[in-house]
Structure 1
Amino acid sequence: MYTNLLEEIKSDHVSGASEISRKACSAFVTFSSEVQAKSKEEYFDKLLKLGVDLAFAQPYMASVFNLANSILYYVEELLPTLSLEELYEFTKDKAEEFCYNSLNSMQKIAKRGEILIEEGSKVLTFSSSGSILSILKKAKEEGKKFEVIACESRPMFEGRLLAKFLGDAGIQVTLITDAAMGVFAKEATLFLVGADSISEATFVNKVGTKYLCLLSTEHEAPLYVACERSKFISEGWRFKPMAWGDPKEVLDFELSNVKVENPYYEEIPLSYCQKVITNEGFLSPEDIPNLIRKTRLCKKLMQHLKSF
Structure 2
Amino acid sequence: MDLTAGIAEIAADSRSGATALAERAAALLTAAQSLPAEELPALCVALAKAQPAMAPLLRLANAVLLAAESHPASNAATRAAAKEFMSDLRRHAAQASRQGATVLPDGRVLTHSSSSLVAEAILGAHAVGRRIEVFCTESRPGFEGRALAARLAAAGVLVTLVVDAAAPALLSQCDLLLMGADTVCAAGLVHKVGTLGLAVAARYCGVPTYALATDEKLLPSACGEHPPVPERDPAEVLPDAPPGVTPLNFYYDLTPHSLLDGILTEDGPLPAETLDQRLDTISVHPALAGIWRE
Under TM normalisation by the shorter chain, which class is it?
over 0.9
Query: Quick one: structure 1 residues 235 and 247, their matched pair in 2 at CA, closer, same or farther if it must change by over 3 Å?
Result: farther
Structure 1 distance, partners of 2:265, 2:66, is: 24
Work out whether 1:273 is the aligned partner of 2:260: yes
Work out whether 1:67 is the aligned partner of 2:54: no
Question: Residue type of the partner of 1:277?
Answer: L
Question: Residue type of the partner of 2:207?
Answer: A
CA contact (8 A) 1:137 1:169 kept: yes
Structure 2 distance, partners of 1:2, 1:117, is: 44
Question: Residue type of the partner of 2:236?
Answer: E
Residue in 2 aligned with 1:135? Answer: 121
User: What does residue range 74-223 of structure 1 map to in structure 2 within 5 Å?
Assistant: 74-79=67-72, 83=73, 87-119=74-106, 121-223=107-209
TM-score normalised by length of structure 1: 0.88
Residue in 1 aligned with 2:272? Answer: 285
Residue in 2 aligned with 1:228? Answer: 214
CA contact (8 A) 2:113 2:139 kept: yes
Structure 1 distance, partners of 2:271, 2:19, is: 21
Residue in 2 aligned with 1:54? Answer: 47
Residue in 1 aligned with 2:249? Answer: 262
Structure 1 distance, partners of 2:285, 2:67, is: 8
Aligned-partner SS, 2:145: helix
Question: Residue type of the partner of 2:260?
Answer: C
Question: Residue type of the partner of 1:55?
Answer: A
Structure 2 distance, partners of 1:201, 1:52, is: 22
CA contact (8 A) 2:68 2:75 kept: no
CA contact (8 A) 1:18 1:130 kept: no
1:26-75 per-residue CA deviation (whole Å, 9 max, x = no partner) reads 2223333xx3x5xxxx2x22322321121111112111111101110121
1:75-123 per-residue CA deviation (whole Å, 9 max, x = no partner) reads 11221xxx3xxx222211111111111111111112211111223x211
Residue in 2 aligned with 1:24? Answer: 25
Structure 1 distance, partners of 2:132, 2:293, is: 49
Question: Residue type of the partner of 1:13?
Answer: S
Number of aligned residues? 292
Structure 1 distance, partners of 2:2, 2:172, is: 47
Question: Residue type of the partner of 2:118?
Answer: I
Aligned-partner SS, 2:84: helix
Aligned-partner SS, 2:289: helix
Structure 2 distance, partners of 1:164, 1:236, is: 40
Query: Quick one: structure 1 residues 248 and 93, their matched pair in 2 at CA, closer, same or farther if it must change by over 3 Å?
Result: same
Structure 2 distance, partners of 1:5, 1:230, is: 22
The alignment's C-alpha RMSD in Å is 1.9
